[in-house]
Amino acid sequence: MKWATSPRQLLAKLVLVSLLIAGTWVAWDNWGRFVRTPRPVASAGQPNAETIAHGEYLSRIGGCVACHTAKGGDPMAGGRRIDTPFGVVFSSNLTSSNAFGLGQWTEADFQNALRWGRSRDGRLLLPVFPYNHTSVFTDDDVHAMFAWLQTVKPIEQAQPEHRLTWPLGTQPVIAVWRSLFFTPTSFKVNDTESVLWNRGAYLVQSAGHCAACHGQRNALGSFPAVDDLSGGMLRPQLWFAPSLLDGTQTSLAQNSPDDIATLLRTGQGHASIATGPMAEFVQQTGQYLSAKDAQAIAVYLKSRVALSAPNTRTPTIAHAVSAPNAPALYDKHCATCHGHQGQGKAHQYPALAGNPAIVADRPENLIQMVLYGGYGASTPAHPRPYGMPPYLFTLNNQQIADVLNHIRSQWGNQATPVSPMQVDSVRAATY
């Protein structure tokens, strides 16, 4: 009897065994827990009006209404297009429709979706749904949201088919991805902090899911930790969500909690205006925050940012330098609103002098604002926000680079130069 095995055969066997072990681990990680008894739902019985109202509030500040309502479509009927680096995804129907929505769902089904990213029929949900953050919700909050969703009138509308690059949307690939990057998280109270601080931390990690934008993802789109606020690039939109931990990237360090709370609810603070995706957040979600919850978030965020001044750093490469034609370009296109000394106008136009967004290492946001302009969020406090005109067809790449380098090198600002090539890259990727 021959027991000898060639090196090639041995390697093949080791690879096969490794694949079997890995496959078993992935299968157990994603489905094994449901062989056991699922976590019981802590329900308070039949929901009352207060519970239902609380569920609607959480669904609004959690972005459920925003994401699951297509532009011009019925509320919560789904169908909103979401562009990702891996293809196009459409949000699902969350109305009480039996055929297309949550009409036949139980509260346990809903809890499994939020806790484990698992649909009623057992399918693993795409991670465009931030179930790492929804897993943080308390049982009472899950109960309230489900109670409200059951009151949403049924809309008989099917979810459009996703358009993802194959095989990225398949269940085996999702299972492997989840095993690598998804771990359900429960909120942990910090006994050394105040009740208000803990409320803010809970909202940031759950309903606010701030890390979904302000956290770092790898090339595979990994879930960042629910409290990761270290900044990240939003792809394919090419907006950079700055770090909320670094005082050189945002105005958090300089602004008071009251001003931060005002910005979250209205889109405008004393010296800051929400633009780009942040303006969209305020428009669709932030304006529905209660004053107390906005204050709680502000207190929490304020506690985490490093208290450093925005212009005390030394760029690692040459500073931006104002081109000879740049002052004239600035005076013609910018000074009327932002001031000849970049001082801006409170509650109308943001100051450019000493503004962390102006001296950011990543210039994509600035380039996008100059190319496409935009308006802040329209909220009850600011129903007609001041806007910025687009210069997509007015200024060429060199002129945009020149005017940006001007504002990044004046009035005490110190930042690295912006090149015409960088402007062209953003223009080509977004137009």
Instruction: Write out pLDDT tens, residues 142-181.
Output: 999 999 999 999 999 999 999 999 999 999 999 999 999 9
* Closest to 417 in 3D by CA, of 287, 320, 272, 275: 320
* Position 30 in a domain: no
Segment among 17-31, 244-258, 404-418 with least mean pLDDT: 17-31
Task: Indicate whether 332 and 420 sit together in one domain.
Answer: yes
Domain C-terminal end among 255, 270, 304: 304
Q: What is the pLDDT of residue 254?
A: 86
280 burial (CB, 10 Å; 0-12 / 13-18 / 19+) is middle
Domain assignment present for residue 186? The answer is: no
Shared domain for 55 and 169, answered yes or no, is yes
Written as six digits, the tokens of 375 are 């308006």
Crossing angle of the two packed helices 257-266 and 291-304, in degrees rounded to 10: 120
* 6 lies in some domain: no
By C-alpha distance, which of 210, 221, 222, 29 is closest to 124? 29
Q: How many Å apart are CA 30 and CA 190, to the nearest integer?
A: 30
Instruction: Look at residue 8 in the predicted model and tell me its pLDDT.
Output: 59
Do 223 and 169 belong together in one domain? no
Shared domain for 90 and 176, answered yes or no, is yes
Note the pLDDT tens digit of each residue in 77-125. Answer: 999 999 999 999 999 999 999 999 999 999 999 999 999 999 999 999 9
Residues 386 and 275 in one domain: no
Query: For 57-71, 327-341, 372-386, 387-401, which range has the lowest pLDDT when averaged over its residues?
Result: 372-386
Backbone angles phi, psi at 293, to 5 degrees: -70, -40
pLDDT higher than 80, residue 69: yes
Q: Do the domain assignments include residue 297?
A: yes
16 is a domain residue: no
417: domain range?
Answer: 326-430
Q: Determine contact, residues 180/222, Cβ cutoff 8 Å.
A: yes
The pLDDT value recorded for residue 14 is: 54
Tell me what pLDDT residue 266 has.
Answer: 94
What percent of the chain has a predicted confidence (pLDDT) above 90? 74
Domain boundary among 152, 181, 210: 181
- Mean pLDDT in the chain? 88
| CA–CA separation, 106 and 180 (whole Å) | 29
Is the pLDDT at 427 greater than 80? The verdict is yes
pLDDT tens for 307-329 read 554 444 555 557 788 889 999 99
Domain CATH number, residue 249: 1.10.760
Last residue in a domain, options 304, 336, 353: 304
The answer to the question of residue 292 being in a domain is: yes
- 341 and 367 co-located in one domain: yes
Q: Are residues 132 and 222 in the same domain?
A: no
> Do 334 and 422 belong together in one domain?
yes
CATH of the domain at 353: 1.10.760.10
- The pLDDT score that the predictor gives to residue 36 is 43
Q: Is the pLDDT of residue 64 over 70?
A: yes
Identify the band that residue 253 occupies on the pLDDT scale cut at 50, 70 and 90.
Answer: confident
Give the model's pLDDT for residue 196: 98
Question: Across residues 127-135, what is the average pLDDT?
Answer: 95
In a domain, 251, yes or no: yes
Residues 169 and 246 in one domain: no
The answer to the question of residue 321 being in a domain is no
Query: Average pLDDT in the 24-44 region?
Result: 50
Paired residues of 84 in beta bridges: 87
Q: Which residue has the higher pLDDT, 321 or 193?
A: 193
Examine the domain organization and report whether 281 and 343 are in the same domain: no
Specify whether 80 is located in the same domain as 171. yes
pLDDT tens per residue across span 206-234: 999 999 999 999 999 999 999 999 999 99
- The number of domains in the chain is 3
Same domain, 259 and 352: no
* Least confident segment among 8-22, 60-74, 208-222, 342-356: 8-22
